[in-house]
Amino acid sequence: MQRYFIDDHYQGQQTVEIAGEDFHHISRVMRMKPGDSLIVVFSSGEAGIAVIEQIDNSSAIVQIKEWEEFVKELPVQITIASGLPKGDKWEWIIQKGTELGASQFVPFIAVRSIVKWDKKKSSKKLERWKKIAKEAAEQSHRQKVPEVMPPVSFRQLLDMSHLFTHKAAAYEESAKQGETSGLAEMLSSASHGEHILIVFGPEGGLSEEEIAQLQDHHFRLIGLGPRILRTETAPLFALSAVSYHFELMR
């Protein structure tokens, strides 16, 4: 069943109006008509199965009939911070990371980032990233669309790290030295609802100076197994490990 996220918080309303791009998808792409069913998800996370009551030239009116009871979100809030990679790798991380349950994506300008961020094109880029996250959340039947932030400096990333209960950085040298317990230990110490920040380097990894600053800000350095993962693969590995620990293993 097709899923649509709306901007409103749930405040007891049983009737919802859907307009804009989602209405275009309902009427032009899916060719739905009155009596057809879909799922609406409020920005506060409530998801309900609804039936289309009316369609006009600009919007659809739907009536919620029942609510989803099964929670589909990870029990912890995972923020993925990646040194801005080249090409479409960041879009891949957003799409697949959304499917795997990430709550937030933060790109940062690392010492070894090859990409030069063009501020003139920033609004269009950010709009595209948010659209990718929304569509991936719909496809994977999530109850929240993850937040996608514009690129920040490494200094800004360090400053925002104090907001997180747990924080770690994937470090290639830790993996080479056989470090295998850091991620598991961090996840074992995390409780329901807590916020976790995991930092990943761009192509070429994090510099020694960046690693030193992360340690100064109480980041745990973790390896992700014996194989060296690409910058677009490492976040997905970590999210899969989070899902296994908090969902599959239990």
Res 203: pLDDT: 93
Helix pair 234-243, 182-189: axis angle to 10 deg: 40
Higher pLDDT, 174 or 225: 225
pLDDT digits (tens, 9 = 90+) for 214-229: 999 999 999 998 888 9
CATH number of the domain to which 160 belongs? 3.40.1280.10
Q: Examine residue 177 and state whether it is found in any structural domain, yes or no.
A: yes
Regarding whether 140 and 240 lie in a shared domain, the answer is yes
Cα-Cα-Cα-Cα dihedral sign, residues 198, 102, 227, 165: positive
Return d(Cα 146, Cα 216) in angstroms, integer. 28
Q: Examine residue 200 and state whether it is found in any structural domain, yes or no.
A: yes
Res 147: pLDDT: 97
Regarding whether 101 and 180 lie in a shared domain, the answer is yes
What are the residues facing 39 on neighbouring strands? Answer: 3, 49
Instruction: Tell me the three state secondary structure of residue 45.
Output: coil
Q: Examine residue 29 and state whether it is found in any structural domain, yes or no.
A: yes
Query: Which of 67, 102, 120 corresponds to the end of one domain?
Result: 67
Regarding whether 173 and 56 lie in a shared domain, the answer is no
Q: Examine residue 53 and state whether it is found in any structural domain, yes or no.
A: yes
Regarding whether 134 and 207 lie in a shared domain, the answer is yes
* Percentage of the chain lying above the pLDDT 90 cut: 80
Nearest to 187 by CA among 220, 151, 214, 217: 220
Regarding whether 137 and 49 lie in a shared domain, the answer is no
Higher pLDDT, 93 or 87: 93
Res 119: pLDDT: 74
CATH number of the domain to which 45 belongs? 2.40.240.20
Regarding whether 49 and 90 lie in a shared domain, the answer is no
Name the phi and psi angles at 105, rounded to 5. -125, 130
Res 238: pLDDT: 97
Q: Work out the average pLDDT over 222-239.
A: 93
Q: Work out the average pLDDT over 14-40.
A: 94
Q: Examine residue 234 and state whether it is found in any structural domain, yes or no.
A: yes
Res 121: pLDDT: 74
Res 151: pLDDT: 94
Q: Examine residue 143 and state whether it is found in any structural domain, yes or no.
A: yes
Query: Which of 67, 89, 116 corresponds to the end of one domain?
Result: 67
Cα-Cα-Cα-Cα dihedral sign, residues 138, 139, 141, 146: negative
Nearest to 174 by CA among 117, 234, 90: 234
What are the residues facing 4 on neighbouring strands? Answer: 40
* Percentage of the chain lying above the pLDDT 70 cut: 97
Regarding whether 173 and 52 lie in a shared domain, the answer is no
Q: pLDDT category, 128, cuts 50, 70, 90?
A: very high
Return d(Cα 109, Cα 112) in angstroms, integer. 8
Q: Examine residue 133 and state whether it is found in any structural domain, yes or no.
A: yes
Res 176: pLDDT: 59
Name the strand (E) or helix (H) holding 184.
helix 182-189
User: What is the tally of structural domains in the chain?
Assistant: 2
Q: Examine residue 72 and state whether it is found in any structural domain, yes or no.
A: no
Regarding whether 53 and 104 lie in a shared domain, the answer is no
Q: Work out the average pLDDT over 39-44.
A: 93
Of the candidate ranges 21-25, 31-35, 169-173, the one whose mean pLDDT is the lowest: 169-173
Q: Give 248: exposed, middle or buried? Use CB within 10 Å, 0-12, 13-18, 19+.
A: exposed
Regarding whether 165 and 46 lie in a shared domain, the answer is no
Name the strand (E) or helix (H) holding 187.
helix 182-189
Regarding whether 189 and 111 lie in a shared domain, the answer is yes
Higher pLDDT, 177 or 172: 172
Q: DSSP secondary-structure letter at 114?
A: -
What range defines the domain where residue 168 resides?
Answer: 77-248
Return d(Cα 122, Cα 154) in angstroms, integer. 18
87: left (phi over 0), alpha (psi -120 to 50) or beta: left
Q: DSSP secondary-structure letter at 111?
A: T
Quick check: 175 pLDDT over 70? no
Res 26: pLDDT: 96
Query: Which of 34, 67, 100 corresponds to the end of one domain?
Result: 67
Quick check: 81 pLDDT over 90? yes
Question: Which one of 95-109, 115-129, 168-182 scores highest in mean pLDDT?
Answer: 95-109
Quick check: 173 pLDDT over 80? no
Return d(Cα 110, Cα 154) in angstroms, integer. 6
